């Protein structure tokens, strides 16, 4: 135990001797708290509030700046559509970051699996459902490979996934010969691959199946993380792996399951991405790894693990989409969009650090 | 102790090295049924290493251990726990960002009954919160207002209370406590000592590691003195004074031959 704690104990003893002193000390405490302290405590208990507030504020600001073009149902549904693939990758990324890891390979797994399913279904005549099944198994296997390297060989997740990012990307180029599979070839051979490109028209809004899929993925993972024992264990491991192990959690097994699930979610993203892009493109989403991390960080999930809600990553992805759309419609050069996202990342992490310093 | 009685836990010749540090140097250990065994020793004597070896938290380099006369070797704290051995580690092993209830049920969560539990694996948070509240009440730790409070927002004493309550609530064979009163105030320490005696009255043996001589002499049936990585001697608190015990553990005085043989 630390010196500070033992030094504090005689005072506690003294207080305990007076029967009612506990409550009066507690109420004195709350009066002492400043407004800022209260905000800090509130955010500590509700980590998703920051991205929600930023999202709402940015929607209002860009609405004022860009007017009805921004606020049109068409544009809002377009934003959701545009962030859907990065959103799904951010969901996978959130799982890993909650365990205090990082996954640089999510987009590489996704693109590799889209190439595999495209090759099989379009060029080799394998039935589309079977081709997709292979992609799901492949994505999960890629995740398990990351997980085993992290837990068995005990390498840092950053290094493991930096390595597998390159490996998966090279495999992708080798399998595809760096050639895209054209949209019309998919349409004639395996239209199922483009299923998530379909949309539902609601007035002028175009809600693609891919957008709906993104929301479904987030809701399902939110349930697993918040309503099941497995989810508690994921948070505990990210919080303090050694403590979780001592408390009786099979930490390595849980970690491998997290990486496997992330790989599976990347394969879901692979299917959705074919619909979104319209073709199978081995060169697409090259920046997807870092964009997914951006969404997670802006969504208030701590890079140190164990804190934040996966829903934050959904809001984070939407914030990025709103900024890009709003700035574009306001006629701001692309480079300033990048500039703004950069500041968002830094501010989000600074806020996370501040929330984590909450005192008892 | 009666040599005819089989120890619940027995260890012989435990060796644990951390690089060039030898934390356990041929250490022996015996815990008999129904007793409170105190383990005392200087900082760095290897007390925590000893209980970590027993509870599966570390692998020893050498040595043998027996549970109820059967050789055992736990590869993880989970295996020890499944055998009924609950441990409060010195660093408490709590997840700071998770709630009190989450921590108490970590690794043994209760699921909802029916389809929601079996199919969808949904946790029964209400039930876990109810039991957690009950256990903390028994410990007199209800200065905690909210069972869903994150553990990191608790005081050091309250955290220790949560860890002790968890072990006492779920231990079925042996309860091991590594310095459980180190951060506690007088009143809270008293509660923990009462709880220890409570657990013993259920017939469960307890290992209590403590620096607090009055506590040790108040509750212990036997005292295991640990020095330089090994058991120096075992003494009966009725036969020796606190200053004798301190003299043994610091090396100021040689222990009597019969205590060493025990
Ligand atoms: N994980 C570890 N890595 C390296 N050295 C350790 C580790 N754990 C304990 N030690 C060393 O082993 C010795 C015994 O430590 P410990 O069992 O914690 O003693 P005690 O609990 O009696 O204070 C000390 O010298 C300590 O520094
Ligand atoms: Mg110790």
Cβ separation A16–B97 shorter than 8 A: no
pLDDT of amino acid B135: 86
Q: How many CB atoms lie within 10 A of CB A257?
A: 18
Atom number in ligand 1 closest to CA B178? 21
Tell me which of A252-261, B73-82, B138-147, B168-177 is least confident.
Answer: B138-147
pLDDT of amino acid B51: 95
Using CB atoms and an 8 Å cut-off, which of residues 136-155 of chain B contact chain A? 143, 145, 150, 152-155
Mean pLDDT of A279-308: 95
Burial of A150 (0-12, 13-18, 19+ CB in 10 A): buried
**CB-closest option in A44, A228, A248 to B78:** A248
pLDDT digits (tens, 9 = 90+) for B191-213: 889 888 888 998 999 999 998 99
pLDDT of amino acid B186: 86
Interface residue B49 vs chain A (CB under 8 A) = no
Tell me which of A57-71, A211-225, A274-288 is least confident.
Answer: A57-71
Phi, then psi, of A108 in degrees rounded to 5: -65, -40
Indicate if the pLDDT at residue B127 is higher than 90: yes
B253 vs A255 pLDDT, higher one: A255
| pTM of structure | 0.90
Domain B9-261: CATH superfamily is P-loop containing nucleotide triphosphate hydrolases (3.40.50.300)
Helix (H, G, I), strand (E, B) or coil at A175: helix
| Residue from B22, B29, B49, B249 whose mutation best tests the ligand 1 pocket (most atoms within 8 A of CB) | B49
pLDDT digits (tens, 9 = 90+) for A162-194: 999 999 999 999 999 999 999 999 999 999 999
Q: What is the CATH number of domain A47-356?
A: 1.10.3470
- Averaged pLDDT score across all residues of chain A: 90
pLDDT of amino acid B155: 83
Contacts of B109 in chain A (CB under 8 A): 229, 232
Nearest CA to ligand 1 atom 16: B46
Q: What ipTM did this prediction achieve?
A: 0.90
Tell me which of A7-21, A328-342, B161-175 is least confident.
Answer: A7-21
pLDDT digits (tens, 9 = 90+) for B214-225: 999 999 999 999
- Give CB contacts under 8 A, 24+ apart, made by B188-191: B188/A12, B188/A16, B188/B140, B188/B141, B188/B157, B188/B160, B188/B161, B189/B215, B191/B139, B191/B140, B191/B141, B191/B161
In angstroms, the CA A84 to CA A225 distance is 21
pLDDT of amino acid B2: 55
Indicate if the pLDDT at residue A231 is higher than 80: yes
**CB-closest option in B108, B121, B156 to A5:** B156
Contacts of A9 in chain B (CB under 8 A): 156-157, 183-185
DSSP annotation of A180: P
Q: How many angstroms is it from B20 CA to the middle of ligand 1?
A: 11
- Averaged pLDDT score across all residues of chain B: 91
**CB-closest option in A232, A239, A250 to B109:** A232
In angstroms, the CA B252 to CA A175 distance is 75
- Give CB contacts under 8 A, 24+ apart, made by A59-66: A59/A322, A61/A326, A62/A322, A62/A323, A62/A325, A62/A326, A62/A327, A62/A329, A62/A330, A65/A326, A65/A329, A65/A330, A66/A326, A66/A329, A66/A330
Distance from the Cα of B192 to chain A's closest Cα (Å) equals 14
Q: How remote is the C-alpha of A122 from its chain's centroid? A: 31
pLDDT of amino acid B141: 66
Nearest CA to ligand 1 atom 21: B48
Cβ separation B183–A233 shorter than 8 A: no
pLDDT of amino acid A359: 56
The size of the A-B interface in CB pairs under 8 A is 118
Mean pLDDT of B55-80: 94
| Residue from B14, B17, B46, B54 whose mutation best tests the ligand 1 pocket (most atoms within 8 A of CB) | B46
A93 vs B256 pLDDT, higher one: A93
């Amino acid at each position: 135990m630390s010196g500070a704690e033992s030094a504090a104990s005689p005072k506690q003893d003294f207080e305990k001797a007076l029967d009612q002193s506990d409550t009066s000390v507690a109420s004195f405490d709350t009066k002492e708290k400043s407004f800022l302290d209260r905000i800090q405590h509130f955010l500590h208990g509700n980590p998703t509030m920051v991205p929600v507030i930023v999202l709402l504020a940015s929607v209002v600001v860009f609405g004022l700046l860009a007017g009805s073009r921004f606020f049109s149902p068409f544009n809002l549904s377009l934003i959701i559509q545009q962030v859907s693939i990065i959103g799904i990758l951010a969901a996978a990324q959130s799982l890993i970051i909650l365990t205090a890891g990082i996954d640089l390979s999510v987009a590489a797994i996704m693109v590799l699996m889209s190439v595999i399913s495209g090759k099989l279904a379009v060029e080799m005549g394998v039935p589309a459902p079977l081709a997709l099944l292979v992609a799901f198994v492949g994505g999960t296997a890629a995740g398990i490979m990351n997980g085993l390297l992290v837990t068995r060989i005990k390498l840092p997740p950053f290094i493991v996934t930096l390595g597998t990012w390159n490996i998966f990307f090279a495999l992708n180029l080798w399998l595809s010969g760096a050639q895209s599979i054209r949209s019309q070839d998919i349409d004639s051979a395996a239209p199922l691959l483009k299923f998530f490109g379909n949309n539902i028209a609601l007035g002028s809004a175009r809600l693609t199946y891919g957008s709906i899929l993104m929301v479904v993925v987030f809701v399902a993972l939110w349930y697993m993380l918040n309503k099941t024992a497995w989810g508690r264990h994921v948070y505990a491991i990210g919080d303090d792996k050694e403590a979780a192990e001592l408390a009786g959690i099979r930490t390595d097994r849980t970690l491998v399951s997290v990486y496997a699930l992330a790989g599976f979610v990347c394969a879901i993203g692979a299917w959705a991405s074919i619909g979104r892009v319209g073709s199978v493109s081995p060169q697409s989403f090259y920046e997807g790894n870092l964009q997914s991390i951006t969404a997670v960080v802006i969504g208030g999930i701590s890079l140190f693990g164990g804190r934040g809600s996966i829903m934050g990553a959904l809001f984070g992805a939407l914030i990025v989409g709103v900024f890009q759309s709003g700035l574009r419609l306001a006629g701001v050069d692309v480079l300033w969009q990048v500039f703004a996202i950069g500041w968002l990342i830094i501010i989000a992490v600074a806020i996370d650090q501040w929330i984590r310093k909450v005192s008892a | 102790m009666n040599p005819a009685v089989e120890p619940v836990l027995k260890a012989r010749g435990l060796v644990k090295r951390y690089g060039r540090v030898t934390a356990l140097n041929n250490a022996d250990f015996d815990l008999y049924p129904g007793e409170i065994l105190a383990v005392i020793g200087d900082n760095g004597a290897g007390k925590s290493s000893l209980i970590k070896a027993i509870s599966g938290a570390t692998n020893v380099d050498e040595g043998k251990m027996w549970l109820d006369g059967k050789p055992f070797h736990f590869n993880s704290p989970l295996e020890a726990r499944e055998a009924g051995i609950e441990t409060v580690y010195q660093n408490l092993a709590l997840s700071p960002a998770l709630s009190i209830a989450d921590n108490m049920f970590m690794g043994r969560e209760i699921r909802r009954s029916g389809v929601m539990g079996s199919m969808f694996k949904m946790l029964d948070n209400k039930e876990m919160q109810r039991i957690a509240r009950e256990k903390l009440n028994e410990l007199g730790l209800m200065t905690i207002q909210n069972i869903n409070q994150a553990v990191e927002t608790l005081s050091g004493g309250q955290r220790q209370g949560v860890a002790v309550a968890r072990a006492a609530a779920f231990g079925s064979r042996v309860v091991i406590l590594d310095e459980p009163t180190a951060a506690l105030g007088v009143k809270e320490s008293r509660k923990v000592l009462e709880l220890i005696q409570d657990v013993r009255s259920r017939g469960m043996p307890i290992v209590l590691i403590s620096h607090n001589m009055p506590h040790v002499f108040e509750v212990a049936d036997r005292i295991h003195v640990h020095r330089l990585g090994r058991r120096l001697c075992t003494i009966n608190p009725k036969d020796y004074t606190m200053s004798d015990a301190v003299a043994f553990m610091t090396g100021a005085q040689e222990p009597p031959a019969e205590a060493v043989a025990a």
